[in-house]
Amino acid sequence: MVTSLLELDFGKQYTYADYLTWKFVERVELLKGFIRQMSAPSVRHQRISVRLSGMLSSFFRKTPCEVFHAPFDVRLYDRQKSYLSDEQIYTVVQPDLCVICDASKLDERGCNGAPDWIIEILSPGNPQTDLRDKYELYQEAGVLEYWIVFPSEQIVEQFVLKEGSYYLHEVYHAEATAVPVLFPALSIPLQEVFAK
């Protein structure tokens, strides 16, 4: 049992089995086995997250899909591989929001496999991770739709998976209504999402 983040070697690769033995206050993710410490979200970040969560939860309430928000563990691996053991999983992320429509991916520890849709809200301390590292991880794992929310710029970049690669489907600005490709009946007024 590891009770302090200081006991870990940030240059070493860990697995999900290791991750399960960590009992400390700090929140971390594993990206291809390497630890990424997470910072506390800002008030602005939380407002955006709560508003989006409310809109999504209302829309999906009577559907097979479910909405989850951080902290919520999502175990990712190459979509070409079948179910992996805890010792074979090297990526565990906590997306700001995710939508999962396949109930068989859910267990008491979170999501085992790719959610259908992930939304990440950028914080000042994590833009490179979300823009580069998580983009690649989500693409490899087969997340069908990935949104990056830029609070300061008040824009949303919408990426959709096609033939194994993401393409930029749309860039939504603050006055626009964002619509997920996977769920075209859902309209998200960004003016409400970004309201002060």
pLDDT digit string (tens) for 3-19? 999 999 999 999 999 99
What mean pLDDT do residues 51-64 have?
97
Mean pLDDT value of segment 123-139:
83
- In this prediction the pTM is 0.95
Mean pLDDT of 121-142: 86
How is residue 14 annotated by DSSP? -
Confidence of residue 39 (pLDDT cuts 50, 70, 90): confident
Rounded CA separation 180/87 (Å): 34
State the fold for domain 5-193: tt1808, chain A (3.90.1570)
Rounded distance between C-alpha atoms, residue 167 and residue 24, angstroms? 38
Q: Which two tokens stand for residue 13?
A: 């690769």
